[in-house]
Structure formats: structure tokens, C-alpha cells
Amino acid sequence: MRIVYMGTPDFAVPPLQALLEAGHEVAAVFTRPDKPRGRRMALTPPPVKVLARAAGIPVVQPATLKDGAAAKRIAALRPDVIVVAAYGKILPKAVLEIPPFGCVNLHASLLPKYRGASPVQAALVNGETVTGVTAMKMAEGLDTGDILLSESTPVGPDENAQELTGRLSRLGAGLIVRTLEALRAGTLRPEPQDDGKSCYAPMLTREMSPVDWKLSAGQIHNRVRGLYPWPGAGASFRGRGLKLLRSRVAGNRAGTPGEAVRENGRFLVCCGGGTAIELLEVQPEGGKRMSGADFLRGHPVEGIVLT
């Protein structure tokens, strides 16, 4: 099939690679504009652009899809289908109506659960033990279109958002190829979503970082892994920031929520409900990431309550 592909971050790279390997013709790749990154704020291309350029595919980086120019450009490409994977922009009706096979979005959740911007993070923060990817036919609403195909996968108890995103991306790569094969063969039976079972995954912000130590150790552990690597879970230790990078539920322990404990070389913190969490890896403000044990060697924790 002749495809216009729309995607931006690492999540969108394996699906694009899979479509190319399956022999589909990618007429163009639409992605977000380059952004300044790093200490030097150098303009950096999105990962999808890097792959597209290496494959010799034309790359388009419009600031908006709403002015009509993008729709005209896409129409001129005469795509059979538009495939979207974590593009980061909403497609207007004028674009949705262009391809004869419609627009197919690869979403990193089992819809209708976790529509929206951060489905992987939301699934982890909420302690889901199963998630997956969904190929849906796009409509004007936010992730509301009919489900074409989906595939589920168990979530590891210590798997973080970065790891799970990578796995779902690879799972989605196979799913999108199968979806287009079935779409071309006319064997798909689109299934409307049950809006009554829907929930939304909001856009990530830095305001999500601070940990509430009154939550149980399990809930805090889910936040640590769900918000990794950005915006990251964080706390205040002696008035300075402390990023919580990796953790483990440490069982029951009486103590004030937020109370730091050194136990057999382990960095424990008391949580709500008489539970405790072990901080396996942290990063002090202005410092490097280190194990909890290494942090204890340079930071006395007796009598300290994290906030």
C-alpha cells in the first residue's frame, strides 16, 4: 500500500521500519519540527526523521495541520492510507478524509482504556498488570475511533515506562503490518469503542513528580516506574531535590510516612499504610545517578523525613 506515515518519538520508529520491510511504499513521513536539546540546545531531529532520511523517504515537518496547506500536500501524495504512531498532533477532518482506506492510529494501550497523551505512563502509575497496543481507525475525537486490531501483553512488576514503551513499540510494529494486510484484504471487522469504559491519560507535566509518602509503597513504586525517565518521581532530602529512579516494595514497616531508614545497607523509606519502599537508584540534585547504597555512604539519613 502507498502510505503517508506520521510519527515523532522512538515509539514510532519500529512500526515505520516494519512497514518498509513488509514492502509498503512510504510516500512521505510527517513528523514534528526539530527541537533544541541538551546543554548546548542544539537542534535535534526526531527519531522518525532520522530513520526516514536514512531510508530516502521525503520528510515533512509542518508547524500545523490546520491551515489547509498540509492537507493539500498529503492529497497530492495520493496515499492509500495514513498511518499514525505517536505523532503528537490531532488530524483535522480535511486530512482524515483524504485516503481511501482511512487513517490508522497505533495507540499504546488497550482502548478504550487510556486514551490520550501518556497511555504507557498512566497504565503503570495505576498498577495495570496487562496492557497492549491498539490499531484504530481514526475519527475526529481523541482516540475514539473503531478498533481494528489489538494485542495484549503482561506488564512486569518492576518494568518502567521506558522499557514498556520499547516493548509496546515492537509489538505495535507487527500489529500495524497485520492491520494493513487485513485492511487491504477487506477482512477487518471494526469494533466501536465502549465509551463507558474509557479513561484518559493526561499529558505529562513536572507537577506530577513530587511523591506523596502517605500513599502505600506499591502506589509509590508504580509512580517511580511509571514516570521514568520523564518527568520522574522526586522528593526533597534535606531541602534539596532527590530523583527516585528505581525502587522496590520492601514490605511492611511502621514509621512516619517519608521517614528515611538505613537497614543492612539498604535505603528504605516508610510509606502509608505501614509499608516501606526501597530506593534502589537515586540522583541527588546537581549530582550523578547512583545506587541507594552509594547514596547512604555519603548522606546520613537517621532522623530525616523526605518530603
How does pLDDT run across 52-108, given as a tens digit for each residue? 999 999 999 999 999 889 999 999 999 999 999 999 899 999 999 999 999 999 999
Q: Determine the Cα–Cα distance for residues 49 and 57; give it in Å rounded to an integer.
A: 9
At residue 176, the pLDDT reads 98
In 3D space, the residue among 242, 243, 246, 239 whose CA is nearest the CA of residue 277 turns out to be 246
Mean pLDDT of the chain: 96
How does pLDDT run across 146-158, given as a tens digit for each residue? 999 999 999 999 9
The whole-model pTM stands at 0.95
For the segment 288-296, the average pLDDT, to the nearest whole number, is 96
* Position 210 confidence tier, pLDDT thresholds 50, 70, 90: very high
Residue 13 has pLDDT above 80, yes or no: yes
Residue 39 has pLDDT above 90, yes or no: no
Domain coordinates in residue numbering, the chain: 2-201, 206-298
Q: Which CATH superfamily is domain 206-298 in?
A: Formyl transferase, C-terminal domain (3.10.25.10)
Residues ≥6 apart with Cβ < 8 Å to 103: 81, 82, 83, 84, 91, 95, 96, 137, 138
Residue 40 has pLDDT above 80, yes or no: no
For the segment 239-246, the average pLDDT, to the nearest whole number, is 97
Residue 243 has pLDDT above 90, yes or no: yes
Task: Give the fold, CATH level 3, of 2-201.
Answer: Rossmann fold (3.40.50)
Could you give the percent of the chain with pLDDT greater than 70?
A: 100
* Position 196 confidence tier, pLDDT thresholds 50, 70, 90: very high
Q: Which of 13-17, 26-30, 32-36 has the lowest mean pLDDT?
A: 32-36
Can you give the chain as a three-state secondary structure string? CEEEEEECCHHHHHHHHHHHHCCCEEEEEECCCCEEECCCCEEECCHHHHHHHHCCCCEECCCCCCCCHHHHHHHHHCCCEEEEECCCCCCCHHHHCCCCCCEEEEECCCCCCCEECCHHHHHHHCCCCEEEEEEEECCCCCCCCCEEEEEEEECCCCCCHHHHHHHHHHHHHHHHHHHHHHHHHCCCCCECCCHHHCCEECCCCHHHCECCCCCCHHHHHHHHHHCCCCCCEEEEECCEEEEEEEEEEEEECCCCCCEEEEECCEEEEEEHHHEEEEEEEEEECCCCCEEHHHHHHHCCCCCCECC
For the segment 109-118, the average pLDDT, to the nearest whole number, is 97
